[in-house]
């Protein structure tokens, strides 16, 4: 009886995995097609948003390109590449939000710009926590759902910002989506370890472009209070995202789980913490040097 029950359980689990795999391929492929169609439609307008198109496809390429790397690394227990990927991305995002969005927010309205930043950080955290709870009821893997919600929200903010400030440089957008590479790598690695299909990650890979190109049509009125709130909110959201991607080299955290450190956990995590600090500082420095190069200081 026990053997039959075990066999039936394995068969049911296999069937669920096959169904989820097919569904992931269908949804992921649909997202890519939708992004391509939206890009063609945007190019067909009189004034194509080339910066947003570029940022959208860089975000897609970064995550989609990292997926096969993460899939192949499923059995690799080295945590250092993940620490450096997260660290570089978070350092670049935090620096970019502080340099390119905060001054605009405060420039529009010092007080409301500050309230916007606070709202972005707090609501970003709230969305992360509530979204985590909602993913338990999803038919897809929690990792893919969280990343998709993350990408769609980030794309909306990027679209509104670039749609209303078309002279904004590419550096901000590229720094913001720089975390898509390490995020895709980590997610694919996690899914492959569980024996799940990674095709569904094409949804968050496409998500930034889907909402960014759509939200760019939203025109903000020339109201300093509203603009201070919007730009402050954008800065707060990306500050939250940047801090959320800071490498956490703690016992029980993602880095610890990936590395499977065993009895040497504390000693090896201490060494990884030094890499995490170096990576975040280098990520911020890269943005600073790029800014100096483009603007001359």
Q: CA-based diameter of the chain, in Å?
A: 76
Q: Residue 119's closest CA among 33, 239, 218, 12?
A: 239
Q: Residue 232's closest CA among 95, 113, 107, 121?
A: 113
Low-confidence spans in the chain with pLDDT less than 70: 1-21, 76-77, 131-142, 252-254, 256-264, 297
Separation CA 58–CA 181 (nearest Å): 10
Separation CA 62–CA 183 (nearest Å): 9
Q: 200, 70 in Cβ contact below 8 A?
A: no
pLDDT recorded at residue 113: 94
Separation CA 259–CA 53 (nearest Å): 37
Mutual angle of helices 80-96 and 265-295, in 10-degree steps: 40
Q: 96, 211 in Cβ contact below 8 A?
A: no
> 10 Å Cβ neighbour count for 18?
11
Q: Residue 71's closest CA among 179, 187, 177?
A: 187
Q: Find the domain containing 30 and state its range.
A: 2-295
- Tokens of residue 219, six digits: 């025109």
Q: Residue 231's closest CA among 241, 240, 215, 220?
A: 220
The total domain count for the chain is 1
Separation CA 252–CA 249 (nearest Å): 9
Provide, for the chain, the percentages of residues in helix, strand and coil under a 3-state DSSP scheme, each rounded to the nearest 5. Answer: 85, 0, 15
């Amino acid at each position: 009886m026990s053997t039959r029950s075990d066999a039936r359980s394995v068969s049911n689990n296999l069937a669920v995995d096959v169904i989820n795999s097919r569904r992931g391929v269908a949804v992921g492929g649909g997202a890519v097609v939708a992004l391509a169609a939206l890009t063609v439609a945007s190019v067909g307008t009189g004034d194509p948003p080339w910066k947003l198109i570029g940022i959208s496809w860089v975000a897609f390429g970064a995550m989609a390109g990292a997926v096969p790397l993460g899939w192949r690394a499923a059995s690799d227990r080295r945590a250092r590449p993940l620490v450096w990927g997260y660290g570089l991305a978070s350092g670049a995002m935090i620096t970019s939000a502080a340099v390119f969005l905060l001054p605009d927010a405060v420039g529009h309205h010092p007080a409301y710009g500050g309230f916007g930043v606070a709202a972005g950080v707090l609501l970003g955290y709230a969305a992360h926590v509530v979204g985590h709870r909602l993913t338990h009821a999803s038919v897809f893997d929690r990792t893919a759902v969280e990343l998709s919600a993350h990408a769609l929200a980030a794309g909306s903010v990027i679209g509104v910002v670039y749609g209303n400030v078309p002279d904004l440089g590419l550096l901000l957008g590229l720094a913001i989506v720089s975390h898509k590479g390490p995020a895709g790598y980590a997610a694919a690695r996690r899914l492959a370890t569980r024996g799940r299909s990674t095709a569904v990650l094409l949804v968050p890979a496409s998500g930034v472009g889907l909402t960014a190109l759509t939200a760019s049509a939203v025109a903000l009125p020339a109201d300093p209070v509203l603009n201070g709130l919007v730009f402050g909110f954008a800065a707060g959201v990306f500050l939250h995202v940047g801090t959320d991607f800071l490498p956490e080299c703690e016992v029980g955290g993602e880095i610890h789980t990936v590395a499977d450190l065993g009895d040497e956990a504390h000693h090896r995590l201490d060494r990884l913490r030094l890499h995490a600090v170096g990576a975040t500082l280098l990520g911020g420095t890269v943005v600073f040097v790029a800014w100096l190069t483009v603007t001359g200081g």
